[in-house]
Amino acid sequence: MKRSSSTSEGGGNRLFSGVFARGDVARCVSDEAWLEAMLDVEGALARALARAQLATPDAAAAITAAARAADLDVARIGAASASTGSPVVALVEALRAAVSSDAAATVHRGATSQDVLDTAMMLIAKRAGAILLNDLAAAADAAALLVERHRGAVMVGRTLLQQAVPVTFGLKAAGWLTALDAARTRLADLVRARLPIQFGGASGTLASLGDRGVDVAALLAEELGLAMPVVPWHTLRLTVFELASALAGVSLVLGKTARDVTLLAQSEVAEVSEAGDAARGGSSTMPQKRNPVAAVAILGCARRVPGLLATLAAAGEQEHERAAGAWHAEWEPFADLVRLTGSAAAWSRELLEGLKVDPARMRTNLEAAGGIPLAEHLSALLAPTMGPPALDLVKEAVARARRSGRPLLDALFDHPATATALANANLDRTKVTRALEPESYLGSTQTWIDRALAAHGALRARERVTP
Protein backbone atom coordinates (compact mmCIF):
# COMPACT_ATOMS: atom_id res chain seq x y z
CA MET A 1 0.00 0.00 0.00
CA LYS A 2 1.55 3.29 -1.03
CA ARG A 3 1.48 6.43 1.04
CA SER A 4 2.32 10.04 0.57
CA SER A 5 5.64 10.87 2.18
CA SER A 6 4.25 14.08 3.68
CA THR A 7 1.38 12.72 5.70
CA SER A 8 0.86 10.19 8.43
CA GLU A 9 -1.47 7.24 8.24
CA GLY A 10 -3.90 9.19 10.42
CA GLY A 11 -3.91 12.27 8.23
CA GLY A 12 -2.28 15.62 8.87
CA ASN A 13 1.41 16.34 9.18
CA ARG A 14 3.45 13.57 10.76
CA LEU A 15 5.46 16.05 12.81
CA PHE A 16 2.37 16.97 14.83
CA SER A 17 0.51 13.66 14.76
CA GLY A 18 1.51 12.78 18.33
CA VAL A 19 -0.69 15.64 19.49
CA PHE A 20 -3.39 15.87 16.83
CA ALA A 21 -3.75 12.23 15.76
CA ARG A 22 -3.61 10.36 19.06
CA GLY A 23 -5.53 7.13 19.45
CA ASP A 24 -7.15 4.89 16.88
CA VAL A 25 -9.66 7.28 15.31
CA ALA A 26 -7.01 8.91 13.14
CA ARG A 27 -6.49 5.77 11.04
CA CYS A 28 -10.18 5.86 10.12
CA VAL A 29 -9.68 9.07 8.13
CA SER A 30 -6.37 8.23 6.48
CA ASP A 31 -6.11 8.17 2.69
CA GLU A 32 -6.22 4.40 2.81
CA ALA A 33 -9.32 4.44 5.00
CA TRP A 34 -11.14 6.73 2.57
CA LEU A 35 -10.14 4.50 -0.32
CA GLU A 36 -11.23 1.39 1.55
CA ALA A 37 -14.60 2.95 2.39
CA MET A 38 -15.23 3.93 -1.24
CA LEU A 39 -14.32 0.43 -2.38
CA ASP A 40 -16.61 -1.03 0.26
CA VAL A 41 -19.42 1.04 -1.23
CA GLU A 42 -18.66 -0.22 -4.73
CA GLY A 43 -18.55 -3.82 -3.54
CA ALA A 44 -21.79 -3.43 -1.61
CA LEU A 45 -23.46 -1.84 -4.63
CA ALA A 46 -22.47 -4.79 -6.79
CA ARG A 47 -23.94 -7.20 -4.24
CA ALA A 48 -27.12 -5.13 -3.98
CA LEU A 49 -27.49 -5.19 -7.77
CA ALA A 50 -27.05 -8.96 -7.75
CA ARG A 51 -29.64 -9.37 -5.02
CA ALA A 52 -32.02 -7.24 -7.10
CA GLN A 53 -31.25 -9.52 -10.08
CA LEU A 54 -29.73 -6.64 -12.02
CA ALA A 55 -26.28 -8.26 -12.02
CA THR A 56 -24.92 -11.77 -11.76
CA PRO A 57 -23.68 -13.20 -8.47
CA ASP A 58 -20.36 -13.93 -10.17
CA ALA A 59 -19.91 -10.29 -11.13
CA ALA A 60 -20.74 -9.19 -7.59
CA ALA A 61 -18.27 -11.68 -6.13
CA ALA A 62 -15.53 -10.60 -8.53
CA ILE A 63 -16.02 -6.91 -7.77
CA THR A 64 -16.08 -7.54 -4.02
CA ALA A 65 -12.85 -9.53 -4.26
CA ALA A 66 -11.17 -6.84 -6.36
CA ALA A 67 -12.28 -3.97 -4.10
CA ARG A 68 -9.11 -3.98 -2.01
CA ALA A 69 -7.38 -0.75 -1.06
CA ALA A 70 -4.05 -2.54 -0.72
CA ASP A 71 -4.04 -3.22 -4.46
CA LEU A 72 -4.48 0.41 -5.49
CA ASP A 73 -2.07 3.35 -5.62
CA VAL A 74 -3.52 6.05 -3.39
CA ALA A 75 -1.23 8.75 -4.70
CA ARG A 76 -2.09 8.02 -8.33
CA ILE A 77 -5.81 8.06 -7.66
CA GLY A 78 -5.45 11.29 -5.72
CA ALA A 79 -3.46 12.93 -8.49
CA ALA A 80 -6.04 11.85 -11.06
CA SER A 81 -8.74 13.76 -9.17
CA ALA A 82 -7.22 16.95 -10.58
CA SER A 83 -8.72 15.99 -13.95
CA THR A 84 -12.17 15.03 -12.72
CA GLY A 85 -12.82 16.93 -9.48
CA SER A 86 -12.99 13.84 -7.27
CA PRO A 87 -11.02 10.62 -6.72
CA VAL A 88 -14.01 8.42 -7.54
CA VAL A 89 -13.59 8.42 -11.32
CA ALA A 90 -10.03 7.07 -11.13
CA LEU A 91 -11.05 4.56 -8.50
CA VAL A 92 -13.88 3.25 -10.68
CA GLU A 93 -11.54 2.97 -13.66
CA ALA A 94 -9.02 1.02 -11.58
CA LEU A 95 -11.72 -1.29 -10.25
CA ARG A 96 -13.10 -1.97 -13.71
CA ALA A 97 -9.61 -2.76 -14.95
CA ALA A 98 -9.21 -5.30 -12.15
CA VAL A 99 -12.20 -7.45 -13.18
CA SER A 100 -13.43 -9.13 -16.34
CA SER A 101 -15.26 -7.15 -18.98
CA ASP A 102 -18.53 -8.80 -17.97
CA ALA A 103 -18.09 -7.80 -14.32
CA ALA A 104 -16.82 -4.34 -15.29
CA ALA A 105 -20.28 -3.47 -16.59
CA THR A 106 -21.64 -3.90 -13.08
CA VAL A 107 -19.05 -1.68 -11.40
CA HIS A 108 -20.61 1.62 -10.23
CA ARG A 109 -23.85 0.87 -12.05
CA GLY A 110 -26.56 3.40 -11.23
CA ALA A 111 -24.28 5.50 -9.04
CA THR A 112 -22.68 8.88 -9.39
CA SER A 113 -19.38 9.94 -7.84
CA GLN A 114 -21.07 11.77 -5.00
CA ASP A 115 -23.04 8.65 -4.09
CA VAL A 116 -19.79 6.81 -3.49
CA LEU A 117 -18.01 9.59 -1.62
CA ASP A 118 -20.96 10.59 0.56
CA THR A 119 -21.70 7.00 1.51
CA ALA A 120 -17.99 6.45 2.19
CA MET A 121 -18.13 9.48 4.47
CA MET A 122 -20.95 7.89 6.43
CA LEU A 123 -19.03 4.61 6.66
CA ILE A 124 -16.00 6.48 7.97
CA ALA A 125 -18.17 8.26 10.52
CA LYS A 126 -19.60 4.93 11.65
CA ARG A 127 -16.21 3.26 11.94
CA ALA A 128 -14.47 6.19 13.58
CA GLY A 129 -17.51 6.79 15.75
CA ALA A 130 -17.37 3.32 17.28
CA ILE A 131 -13.79 3.93 18.43
CA LEU A 132 -14.52 7.48 19.52
CA LEU A 133 -17.55 6.45 21.56
CA ASN A 134 -15.53 3.74 23.28
CA ASP A 135 -12.91 6.29 24.36
CA LEU A 136 -15.64 8.69 25.49
CA ALA A 137 -17.37 5.98 27.53
CA ALA A 138 -14.08 5.15 29.24
CA ALA A 139 -13.46 8.84 29.92
CA ALA A 140 -16.95 9.15 31.39
CA ASP A 141 -16.39 6.13 33.63
CA ALA A 142 -13.15 7.70 34.83
CA ALA A 143 -14.98 10.95 35.57
CA ALA A 144 -17.64 9.03 37.52
CA LEU A 145 -14.91 7.43 39.62
CA LEU A 146 -13.48 10.88 40.39
CA VAL A 147 -16.95 12.01 41.44
CA GLU A 148 -17.35 9.06 43.80
CA ARG A 149 -13.88 9.36 45.31
CA HIS A 150 -13.95 13.10 45.85
CA ARG A 151 -17.60 13.93 46.39
CA GLY A 152 -16.78 15.48 49.76
CA ALA A 153 -13.45 17.15 48.89
CA VAL A 154 -14.22 20.82 49.57
CA MET A 155 -12.54 23.44 47.42
CA VAL A 156 -12.98 27.03 46.38
CA GLY A 157 -15.58 27.58 43.71
CA ARG A 158 -14.41 30.10 41.13
CA THR A 159 -16.54 32.43 39.02
CA LEU A 160 -15.03 34.86 36.50
CA LEU A 161 -11.71 33.37 37.71
CA GLN A 162 -12.31 34.82 41.19
CA GLN A 163 -13.03 32.93 44.40
CA ALA A 164 -16.75 32.41 44.95
CA VAL A 165 -18.47 30.07 47.43
CA PRO A 166 -17.18 26.59 48.35
CA VAL A 167 -17.95 23.57 46.20
CA THR A 168 -16.57 20.04 46.19
CA PHE A 169 -14.34 18.54 43.58
CA GLY A 170 -16.95 15.80 43.25
CA LEU A 171 -19.50 18.36 42.08
CA LYS A 172 -17.06 19.85 39.59
CA ALA A 173 -16.31 16.40 38.19
CA ALA A 174 -20.06 15.65 38.13
CA GLY A 175 -20.43 18.57 35.75
CA TRP A 176 -17.75 17.11 33.50
CA LEU A 177 -19.47 13.73 33.67
CA THR A 178 -22.98 14.85 32.81
CA ALA A 179 -21.82 17.04 29.93
CA LEU A 180 -19.69 14.23 28.56
CA ASP A 181 -22.55 11.75 28.78
CA ALA A 182 -24.89 14.19 27.04
CA ALA A 183 -22.43 14.88 24.23
CA ARG A 184 -21.60 11.26 23.58
CA THR A 185 -25.27 10.24 23.71
CA ARG A 186 -26.03 12.77 20.97
CA LEU A 187 -23.18 11.45 18.85
CA ALA A 188 -24.15 7.82 19.48
CA ASP A 189 -27.70 8.49 18.30
CA LEU A 190 -26.32 9.55 14.93
CA VAL A 191 -23.52 7.04 14.57
CA ARG A 192 -25.48 3.96 15.58
CA ALA A 193 -28.77 4.55 13.81
CA ARG A 194 -29.04 7.62 11.60
CA LEU A 195 -26.11 7.70 9.18
CA PRO A 196 -27.68 7.25 5.73
CA ILE A 197 -26.40 5.94 2.45
CA GLN A 198 -26.35 8.28 -0.51
CA PHE A 199 -27.68 6.74 -3.71
CA GLY A 200 -29.48 8.87 -6.24
CA GLY A 201 -27.54 8.64 -9.46
CA ALA A 202 -27.00 11.62 -11.70
CA SER A 203 -29.82 13.85 -10.41
CA GLY A 204 -31.49 11.83 -7.69
CA THR A 205 -33.88 9.84 -9.89
CA LEU A 206 -31.87 6.60 -10.33
CA ALA A 207 -33.38 6.55 -13.82
CA SER A 208 -30.60 4.29 -15.11
CA LEU A 209 -32.01 1.49 -12.93
CA GLY A 210 -35.54 1.84 -14.26
CA ASP A 211 -38.13 1.22 -11.57
CA ARG A 212 -35.70 -0.76 -9.36
CA GLY A 213 -33.67 2.16 -8.03
CA VAL A 214 -35.28 2.37 -4.61
CA ASP A 215 -35.04 -1.42 -4.21
CA VAL A 216 -31.32 -1.32 -4.94
CA ALA A 217 -30.87 1.61 -2.55
CA ALA A 218 -32.54 -0.33 0.27
CA LEU A 219 -30.36 -3.35 -0.42
CA LEU A 220 -27.25 -1.15 -0.50
CA ALA A 221 -28.15 0.30 2.89
CA GLU A 222 -28.62 -3.22 4.25
CA GLU A 223 -25.29 -4.38 2.86
CA LEU A 224 -23.44 -1.48 4.51
CA GLY A 225 -25.37 -1.37 7.78
CA LEU A 226 -26.38 2.24 7.16
CA ALA A 227 -29.79 3.92 7.21
CA MET A 228 -32.04 4.20 4.18
CA PRO A 229 -32.88 7.87 3.54
CA VAL A 230 -36.35 9.01 2.52
CA VAL A 231 -34.89 10.60 -0.62
CA PRO A 232 -31.36 11.24 -1.93
CA TRP A 233 -29.69 14.14 -0.14
CA HIS A 234 -26.98 15.26 -2.57
CA THR A 235 -27.46 18.96 -1.83
CA LEU A 236 -29.41 18.60 1.42
CA ARG A 237 -26.51 18.56 3.85
CA LEU A 238 -28.26 18.52 7.21
CA THR A 239 -26.86 15.08 8.07
CA VAL A 240 -23.31 16.29 7.52
CA PHE A 241 -23.95 19.34 9.66
CA GLU A 242 -25.63 17.29 12.42
CA LEU A 243 -22.66 14.97 12.49
CA ALA A 244 -20.20 17.86 12.53
CA SER A 245 -22.20 19.59 15.25
CA ALA A 246 -22.27 16.45 17.39
CA LEU A 247 -18.50 16.07 17.02
CA ALA A 248 -18.02 19.73 17.87
CA GLY A 249 -20.20 19.25 20.95
CA VAL A 250 -17.95 16.43 22.12
CA SER A 251 -14.90 18.60 21.51
CA LEU A 252 -16.46 21.48 23.43
CA VAL A 253 -17.09 19.28 26.49
CA LEU A 254 -13.62 17.77 26.40
CA GLY A 255 -12.10 21.22 26.02
CA LYS A 256 -14.00 22.54 29.04
CA THR A 257 -12.72 19.69 31.19
CA ALA A 258 -9.17 20.21 29.97
CA ARG A 259 -9.41 23.95 30.62
CA ASP A 260 -10.44 23.31 34.23
CA VAL A 261 -7.49 20.95 34.65
CA THR A 262 -4.98 23.49 33.31
CA LEU A 263 -6.29 26.09 35.75
CA LEU A 264 -6.34 23.73 38.71
CA ALA A 265 -2.84 22.46 37.82
CA GLN A 266 -1.24 25.93 37.89
CA SER A 267 1.73 26.06 40.25
CA GLU A 268 0.00 28.59 42.51
CA VAL A 269 -3.12 26.39 42.73
CA ALA A 270 -1.73 22.83 42.43
CA GLU A 271 -5.02 21.12 43.24
CA VAL A 272 -4.72 18.50 40.48
CA SER A 273 -1.93 17.06 38.36
CA GLU A 274 -1.62 14.67 35.47
CA ALA A 275 -0.25 11.17 35.76
CA GLY A 276 3.01 10.20 34.10
CA ASP A 277 6.69 9.68 34.75
CA ALA A 278 9.23 12.40 35.49
CA ALA A 279 9.84 13.04 31.80
CA ARG A 280 6.18 13.85 31.15
CA GLY A 281 5.52 17.54 30.52
CA GLY A 282 9.15 18.59 30.48
CA SER A 283 10.46 21.86 29.07
CA SER A 284 13.32 22.29 26.60
CA THR A 285 14.98 24.83 28.92
CA MET A 286 13.37 24.87 32.39
CA PRO A 287 14.19 21.84 34.56
CA GLN A 288 11.39 22.55 37.04
CA LYS A 289 8.55 22.44 34.52
CA ARG A 290 5.94 19.68 34.48
CA ASN A 291 3.33 20.86 32.02
CA PRO A 292 -0.18 19.34 31.82
CA VAL A 293 0.47 17.79 28.42
CA ALA A 294 -2.80 15.90 27.96
CA ALA A 295 -4.95 18.89 28.89
CA VAL A 296 -2.93 21.18 26.63
CA ALA A 297 -3.19 18.72 23.73
CA ILE A 298 -6.97 18.45 24.20
CA LEU A 299 -7.26 22.22 24.10
CA GLY A 300 -5.07 22.34 20.99
CA CYS A 301 -7.44 19.95 19.25
CA ALA A 302 -10.58 21.66 20.53
CA ARG A 303 -9.49 25.15 19.45
CA ARG A 304 -9.38 24.03 15.82
CA VAL A 305 -12.87 22.55 15.81
CA PRO A 306 -15.08 25.68 15.61
CA GLY A 307 -13.44 26.75 12.35
CA LEU A 308 -14.01 23.34 10.83
CA LEU A 309 -17.64 23.35 11.96
CA ALA A 310 -18.08 26.80 10.43
CA THR A 311 -16.64 25.59 7.12
CA LEU A 312 -18.99 22.63 7.02
CA ALA A 313 -21.94 24.86 7.94
CA ALA A 314 -21.01 27.31 5.19
CA ALA A 315 -20.69 24.47 2.69
CA GLY A 316 -24.17 23.21 3.53
CA GLU A 317 -26.01 25.71 1.32
CA GLN A 318 -25.78 24.11 -2.13
CA GLU A 319 -27.25 24.58 -5.58
CA HIS A 320 -30.01 22.53 -7.21
CA GLU A 321 -29.16 18.81 -7.55
CA ARG A 322 -25.36 19.05 -7.34
CA ALA A 323 -23.09 21.65 -5.75
CA ALA A 324 -20.38 23.52 -7.58
CA GLY A 325 -17.54 23.44 -5.06
CA ALA A 326 -19.37 23.42 -1.74
CA TRP A 327 -19.48 19.62 -1.66
CA HIS A 328 -15.75 19.47 -2.37
CA ALA A 329 -15.13 21.89 0.49
CA GLU A 330 -16.47 19.34 2.98
CA TRP A 331 -14.05 16.47 2.52
CA GLU A 332 -10.91 17.60 4.31
CA PRO A 333 -12.62 19.62 7.07
CA PHE A 334 -14.79 16.58 7.83
CA ALA A 335 -11.75 14.32 8.06
CA ASP A 336 -9.90 16.85 10.21
CA LEU A 337 -12.90 17.22 12.51
CA VAL A 338 -13.17 13.48 13.04
CA ARG A 339 -9.42 13.13 13.61
CA LEU A 340 -9.15 16.04 16.05
CA THR A 341 -12.20 15.00 18.04
CA GLY A 342 -10.87 11.46 18.18
CA SER A 343 -7.50 12.70 19.34
CA ALA A 344 -9.09 14.86 22.03
CA ALA A 345 -11.13 11.87 23.20
CA ALA A 346 -8.07 9.62 23.41
CA TRP A 347 -6.19 12.29 25.36
CA SER A 348 -9.20 12.85 27.64
CA ARG A 349 -9.49 9.19 28.46
CA GLU A 350 -5.84 9.17 29.52
CA LEU A 351 -6.22 12.45 31.40
CA LEU A 352 -9.24 11.43 33.46
CA GLU A 353 -8.10 7.87 34.10
CA GLY A 354 -4.84 9.14 35.58
CA LEU A 355 -5.82 12.50 37.07
CA LYS A 356 -4.32 13.06 40.52
CA VAL A 357 -6.51 15.06 42.88
CA ASP A 358 -5.10 16.69 46.01
CA PRO A 359 -7.94 17.30 48.52
CA ALA A 360 -5.45 18.52 51.15
CA ARG A 361 -4.22 21.25 48.83
CA MET A 362 -7.81 22.18 48.02
CA ARG A 363 -8.52 22.56 51.74
CA THR A 364 -5.35 24.62 52.22
CA ASN A 365 -6.25 26.99 49.40
CA LEU A 366 -9.75 27.39 50.79
CA GLU A 367 -8.55 28.06 54.33
CA ALA A 368 -5.99 30.56 53.05
CA ALA A 369 -8.91 32.75 52.03
CA GLY A 370 -9.65 33.34 55.70
CA GLY A 371 -13.34 32.56 55.54
CA ILE A 372 -14.11 35.12 52.82
CA PRO A 373 -15.67 32.51 50.43
CA LEU A 374 -18.37 32.03 53.10
CA ALA A 375 -19.37 35.71 53.10
CA GLU A 376 -22.58 34.92 51.24
CA HIS A 377 -23.54 32.49 54.00
CA LEU A 378 -23.18 35.23 56.61
CA SER A 379 -25.26 37.62 54.53
CA ALA A 380 -28.00 34.99 54.33
CA LEU A 381 -27.93 34.49 58.13
CA LEU A 382 -28.16 38.24 58.80
CA ALA A 383 -30.82 38.97 56.18
CA PRO A 384 -33.86 37.87 58.28
CA THR A 385 -33.12 40.57 60.89
CA MET A 386 -31.34 43.21 58.79
CA GLY A 387 -32.83 42.84 55.31
CA PRO A 388 -30.83 44.11 52.28
CA PRO A 389 -28.32 46.09 54.40
CA ALA A 390 -26.87 42.75 55.53
CA LEU A 391 -25.06 42.45 52.21
CA ASP A 392 -23.34 45.81 52.64
CA LEU A 393 -22.42 45.05 56.23
CA VAL A 394 -20.66 41.82 55.28
CA LYS A 395 -19.11 43.41 52.19
CA GLU A 396 -17.49 46.07 54.43
CA ALA A 397 -16.22 43.34 56.76
CA VAL A 398 -14.68 41.51 53.80
CA ALA A 399 -12.94 44.70 52.72
CA ARG A 400 -11.52 45.19 56.23
CA ALA A 401 -10.30 41.58 56.30
CA ARG A 402 -8.52 42.00 53.00
CA ARG A 403 -6.91 45.30 53.97
CA SER A 404 -5.66 43.95 57.28
CA GLY A 405 -4.85 40.42 56.17
CA ARG A 406 -6.90 39.06 59.08
CA PRO A 407 -9.53 36.29 58.92
CA LEU A 408 -13.08 37.39 58.22
CA LEU A 409 -14.15 36.14 61.66
CA ASP A 410 -11.91 38.71 63.37
CA ALA A 411 -12.92 41.49 61.00
CA LEU A 412 -16.54 40.83 61.93
CA PHE A 413 -16.24 40.81 65.73
CA ASP A 414 -13.55 43.49 66.07
CA HIS A 415 -15.85 46.07 64.50
CA PRO A 416 -18.48 47.38 66.99
CA ALA A 417 -21.33 47.98 64.52
CA THR A 418 -20.88 44.59 62.91
CA ALA A 419 -20.58 42.83 66.25
CA THR A 420 -23.82 44.46 67.37
CA ALA A 421 -25.62 43.36 64.22
CA LEU A 422 -24.43 39.82 64.75
CA ALA A 423 -25.62 39.87 68.36
CA ASN A 424 -29.03 41.19 67.29
CA ALA A 425 -29.26 38.24 64.88
CA ASN A 426 -28.38 35.86 67.74
CA LEU A 427 -25.09 34.97 66.02
CA ASP A 428 -22.32 34.55 68.58
CA ARG A 429 -18.71 33.74 67.76
CA THR A 430 -19.33 29.98 67.93
CA LYS A 431 -22.23 30.14 65.47
CA VAL A 432 -20.33 32.39 63.09
CA THR A 433 -17.31 30.10 63.26
CA ARG A 434 -19.54 27.19 62.22
CA ALA A 435 -21.04 29.32 59.45
CA LEU A 436 -17.56 29.97 58.10
CA GLU A 437 -16.85 26.24 57.78
CA PRO A 438 -17.17 25.23 54.10
CA GLU A 439 -19.13 22.06 54.88
CA SER A 440 -21.87 24.25 56.36
CA TYR A 441 -22.62 25.87 53.01
CA LEU A 442 -22.68 23.18 50.34
CA GLY A 443 -26.43 23.21 49.77
CA SER A 444 -27.59 20.57 47.29
CA THR A 445 -24.10 19.42 46.38
CA GLN A 446 -24.54 15.80 47.42
CA THR A 447 -27.97 15.58 45.81
CA TRP A 448 -26.59 16.85 42.51
CA ILE A 449 -23.76 14.33 42.75
CA ASP A 450 -26.20 11.50 43.42
CA ARG A 451 -28.23 12.55 40.39
CA ALA A 452 -25.16 12.68 38.16
CA LEU A 453 -23.96 9.25 39.23
CA ALA A 454 -27.43 7.75 38.88
CA ALA A 455 -27.86 9.18 35.38
CA HIS A 456 -24.46 7.86 34.34
CA GLY A 457 -25.21 4.44 35.80
CA ALA A 458 -28.52 4.27 33.97
CA LEU A 459 -26.87 5.27 30.69
CA ARG A 460 -24.16 2.64 31.05
CA ALA A 461 -26.80 0.01 31.84
CA ARG A 462 -28.70 0.89 28.66
CA GLU A 463 -25.48 0.77 26.67
CA ARG A 464 -24.69 -2.71 27.95
CA VAL A 465 -28.10 -3.90 26.79
CA THR A 466 -27.92 -2.09 23.43
CA PRO A 467 -24.26 -1.60 22.52
Residues 75-120: tens digit of each pLDDT: 999 999 999 999 999 999 999 999 999 999 999 999 999 999 999 9
At residue 279, the pLDDT reads 59
Choice among 276-290, 301-315, 399-413 with the minimum mean pLDDT: 276-290
- The model's pLDDT over 299-352, given as tens digits with 9 standing for 90+, comes to 999 999 999 999 999 999 999 999 999 999 999 999 999 999 999 999 999 999
At residue 276, the pLDDT reads 72
Predicted model pTM = 0.93
Residues 6+ apart with CB under 8 A from 357: 146, 149, 150, 153, 169, 271, 272
| Mean confidence (pLDDT) of the chain | 94
Q: How confident is the model at residue 10 (pLDDT cuts 50, 70, 90)?
A: low
Q: How far is CA 382 from CA 287, 392, 397, 433, in A?
A: 51, 11, 13, 14
The catalytic residue positions are 283, 322
| pLDDT of 32 above 70 | yes
Mean pLDDT for 355-384 is 96
- The model's pLDDT over 142-182, given as tens digits with 9 standing for 90+, comes to 999 999 999 999 999 999 999 999 999 999 999 999 999 99
- The model's pLDDT over 213-253, given as tens digits with 9 standing for 90+, comes to 999 999 999 999 999 999 999 999 999 999 999 999 999 99
- The model's pLDDT over 120-153, given as tens digits with 9 standing for 90+, comes to 999 999 999 999 999 999 999 999 999 999 999 9
- The model's pLDDT over 176-216, given as tens digits with 9 standing for 90+, comes to 999 999 999 999 999 999 999 999 999 999 999 999 999 99
Q: How confident is the model at residue 466 (pLDDT cuts 50, 70, 90)?
A: confident
Residue with the bigger pLDDT between 278 and 295: it is 295
At residue 362, the pLDDT reads 98
